[in-house]
Structure 1
């Protein structure tokens, strides 16, 4: 919000303030039993806000926000076609959300349903935060592509009434090269936008002043660390990480429930803009009238002091914890190695110290993943900001290995101060198995020239657990001592039907199973070996038996049947003649 826009807010009357506070307190009791508030809506000493302990940061740098609450009556339905002649009530006006702004919230919800389905992000939550942070981009004063018609800037975060956040972007986003300011309709501070920014309207840019970009970034910010918006604890943690204030949480929840009861689309630029802000302390419309000064008595001549009073020195601003940091130290991080797809069991810990080696608490340390890797922190982000504890130690969120193998770097730096970074090397190794076993017991047997009836299937495990997506090779080897591929005996077939005796590029499935293609036999008989190996050294050798075909007994040839009608013998003629 612009400082001019912020500076001219009207405070509500005492009655409205009391009603709003009671509404907040009632909502806190009904929506979040773990939140307590007094009758003025202020956080009590019993509160233990679920601040973003994982980041020690907030999206807005805990900048001021609008405190206006929704009307007590439920939103009215969308106006009818003849509504131009019907006065719009306060309730229906408040329930209306500018068209482009509403579209941005719904598109962000749809994208998050795909990329982070476990978050269960409702667009109404984005709308509630957008209302509290900027009054829905100042009532929808945005261009057709969603960019605000003029910058929305929060107050200078110089430590005077607000957080003290030195410049982190050289004024690139907020125009201030000395201190940071919250920027855009969702009020991101530059250091948070640097890693949380998203391109929500696919124009190739990540612009905090664009409602599509800002809404999508806000959604991803709220969904990090696997928070679930359908649970009370997840919703509370996420909202408090945006601005660490119980009053902020209650105000956002008020609007969330209000929008859930019903909203409607209104033209851009016609939305209502809130009038109260969390840092309002006086009514700027009521000038303070000075009292008439009384006529001073004529002072008596002062006596000359024996010792002239010393001129008081101008008090200096005490340094912040960040200002005292001289260097960073590794706080005992062990070797960082994980298999692809697994979580790293070791966390990175960094300590902030003064020049004398004294630990410094309450300093924001940023951890950034650098290098060609798809590894992330828990929640899918590549950057995380963590506040140091009383021992000066900041522990980064757990690392999650992706599928890319190799070494990458996690770099630790101090937010708001230039000191030498500390780099941590992390290595992702290929998925591996240490054991292979057949799933069947039948011995693979085939006759020469035929095909094996059953396909060979094996199961891979690693340290007793299923080894999924592990690379494997299957080879019909010459012998137990010669692992080269045989030139005769059983074989697989390639895509064109030609015999092959080595298969590469195999992988186990999600259950660690690998079923090999069908095996065939040539005319060579005997016992043959099929050897399967995986990444990680698991090996299994399977015996294959090829037998000779059963010999065939030739059938005797049939004889010609005798002709019983003809004489069995031809009588010889008598050679005796009559004398």
Structure 2
């Protein structure tokens, strides 16, 4: 489908404000633990970061749009010339390519993480709040935005202080980070959360297919079941830890669930009201710490250069009544007080237990690290990131390679349990402080091969054969380790010369390779999920005698099986007649 352009304008501010107030009250009434005042405004603040396992926020402390969905009303909007009563419903249209990306991400997560129950409408709600559905669907046929969608500079002013982590590769800023793309990922988060949603071999935060799939995996990363209201709330707050943000996303989610439709790319409406400390009068919430009220008339506001968002006002153009264009003198500013993260000087091990596990098992020990000041004092409420590095299939519980936890009152953060993969050897887990450049702390976890300390034949039948023939029964063994079934254990089988000489024999019984040639040593064998292994058929050459088959398992289990090759017994001759 060719992209179509010509963005349409939003309806009047009065209608938007009315809808916003009503839907805000509805959203707040549905949110767990959120109450409203007599005007329907939120009266609770954001939950504590310690309330749930917080990961590195995809767009934490970044500007988002607080515009709420319109009320579904049969009454046409005054002045629109629309007598059908469908104007409000038209605000729920989603650009075709963007909608396709959301639905494809849902389908992918349904296969890879079916227990998450991710609805595409949740991705649409977050995409609406984060970027107005990729700036109204301004994407090419492959789903890449025509221009980059960037959040504000995270330089510690109005928003968080996140020094550059990508050398400007994603956001074009080599000093500070900025949220990037239609789903607004911080570059350091994209490095581990990014996905290739359109199978083009790249992970691009500016591509709606890649960004939507990444957002889906991000929301599902803690094995949350999003059909559960509590899990859904935790997932949304992990994306942006703000009750106002949660309420806005929930409002759009419920609206999209009630009904939405596809519209041409490039024709979506753009949101107008960003979160932050300012308020342009279109709703009552500032998207952060709860409702705000503006004096009347609204005084001019001073914008920082470069903070314009798609659809927002330009700096200095919102003066009431078209007043003087001379910018006001900005008030003196004082540096913000240091955050707990700012006081962290180093990381220390906090008593991590032994990190050794057999392939496929969960490590008994967990990694614990403590954030400390230069004086060695513990620092609480700091985000600590645990990253599994290198080529390994070892993961944290839930299948992820990165987990971000918040330090407790003792300054300690504990990583989720490690699950050993099938690749054996040492695995490095790196611990860093989110938003603070301090020396990383590396841990080494060791994955050992699956083991069996005993092997036993499953039958007691004697194994015999005539010269040049084949043995009637295939040898089958069962592996155990400490009395328990030993599954997926590496095994090798060798037709040896003798008990004292375990090298491969050059005569007697043999297996056949893929070309039908004799082979007397087999490797790369493995027991099944029940600990069983059935060897290939055995054949005999023309050598008679007793031969030995040695079967060895990783972990020390050994069994030696006797094979006999002997000529067939001759039938007795009849006695001559008397």
- Give runs of aligned pairs for residues 451-490 of structure 1, distance below 5 A: 451-490=470-509
Could you tell me whether the CA contact under 8 Å between 2:182 and 2:206 is conserved in 1?
Answer: yes
Q: Which of 350, 363, 369 in structure 2 is aligned with 1:331?
A: 350
Could you tell me whether the CA contact under 8 Å between 1:27 and 1:254 is conserved in 2?
Answer: no
Could you tell me whether the CA contact under 8 Å between 1:11 and 1:283 is conserved in 2?
Answer: no
Q: Match of 1:225, SS?
A: coil
- 1:235 counterpart = 2:218: no
Question: Structure 1's 264 and 423: CA in aligned 2 closer, same or farther, altered over 3 A?
Answer: same
1:238 shift after superposition: 2.0
Question: Structure 1's 527 and 222: CA in aligned 2 closer, same or farther, altered over 3 A?
Answer: same
**CA–CA separation in structure 2 for the residues paired with 1:218 and 1:46:** 21
Could you tell me whether the CA contact under 8 Å between 1:52 and 1:58 is conserved in 2?
Answer: no
Could you tell me whether the CA contact under 8 Å between 1:507 and 1:514 is conserved in 2?
Answer: yes
**Match in the other structure for 2:107:** 110
Could you tell me whether the CA contact under 8 Å between 2:161 and 2:435 is conserved in 1?
Answer: no
Q: Match of 1:520, SS?
A: coil
Q: Deviations over 1:79-109 (max 9, x none)?
A: xxxxxx9968234313321012112222323
TM-score (norm 1): 0.78
**Match in the other structure for 1:97:** 94
- 1:193 counterpart = 2:212: no
- 1:274 counterpart = 2:293: no
Q: Match of 1:213, SS?
A: helix
1:332 shift after superposition: 1.8
**Match in the other structure for 1:544:** 563
Structure 1 residues without counterparts, runs of 5 or longer: 1-8, 29-33, 76-84, 292-312, 560-579
**CA–CA separation in structure 1 for the residues paired with 2:252 and 2:19:** 17
**CA–CA separation in structure 2 for the residues paired with 1:455 and 1:262:** 63
**Match in the other structure for 1:124:** 121
1:60 shift after superposition: 0.8
- Give runs of aligned pairs for residues 386-397 of structure 1, distance below 5 A: 386-397=405-416
1:473 shift after superposition: 0.8
Q: Which of 402, 405, 408 in structure 1 is aligned with 2:424?
A: 405
Could you tell me whether the CA contact under 8 Å between 1:340 and 1:401 is conserved in 2?
Answer: yes
1:424 shift after superposition: 1.4
Q: Which of 442, 448, 452 in structure 2 is aligned with 1:433?
A: 452
**Match in the other structure for 1:24:** 27
Q: Which of 351, 359, 381 in structure 1 is aligned with 2:370?
A: 351
- Give runs of aligned pairs for residues 156-555 of structure 1, distance below 5 A: 156-279=153-276, 282-284=279-281, 288-289=296-297, 316-447=335-466, 449-522=468-541, 527-554=546-573
**CA–CA separation in structure 2 for the residues paired with 1:389 and 1:10:** 45
**CA–CA separation in structure 1 for the residues paired with 2:401 and 2:230:** 24
**Match in the other structure for 1:53:** 53
Could you tell me whether the CA contact under 8 Å between 2:23 and 2:71 is conserved in 1?
Answer: no
Could you tell me whether the CA contact under 8 Å between 1:436 and 1:538 is conserved in 2?
Answer: yes
**CA–CA separation in structure 2 for the residues paired with 1:43 and 1:489:** 86
**Match in the other structure for 1:573:** none
**CA–CA separation in structure 2 for the residues paired with 1:54 and 1:248:** 16
Question: Structure 1's 199 and 538: CA in aligned 2 closer, same or farther, altered over 3 A?
Answer: same
1:481 shift after superposition: 3.2
Structure 2 residues without counterparts, runs of 5 or longer: 1-11, 75-81, 283-293, 300-331
**CA–CA separation in structure 1 for the residues paired with 2:515 and 2:189:** 56
Which moves more between the two structures, 546-555 or 427-436? 546-555
**CA–CA separation in structure 2 for the residues paired with 1:46 and 1:160:** 20
Question: Structure 1's 379 and 12: CA in aligned 2 closer, same or farther, altered over 3 A?
Answer: farther
Q: Deviations over 1:501-558 (max 9, x none)?
A: 3222211123322101122344555544322111121112223344542222345799
**CA–CA separation in structure 1 for the residues paired with 2:90 and 2:63:** 24
**CA–CA separation in structure 1 for the residues paired with 2:570 and 2:539:** 21
Could you tell me whether the CA contact under 8 Å between 1:11 and 1:275 is conserved in 2?
Answer: no
Q: Match of 2:524, SS?
A: strand
Could you tell me whether the CA contact under 8 Å between 2:139 and 2:146 is conserved in 1?
Answer: yes
TM-score (norm 2): 0.78
**CA–CA separation in structure 2 for the residues paired with 1:252 and 1:46:** 14
Question: Structure 1's 440 and 67: CA in aligned 2 closer, same or farther, altered over 3 A?
Answer: farther
**CA–CA separation in structure 2 for the residues paired with 1:290 and 1:485:** 92
1:289 shift after superposition: 4.9
**CA–CA separation in structure 1 for the residues paired with 2:341 and 2:471:** 72
Q: Deviations over 1:392-419 (max 9, x none)?
A: 1222233333332222322222222222
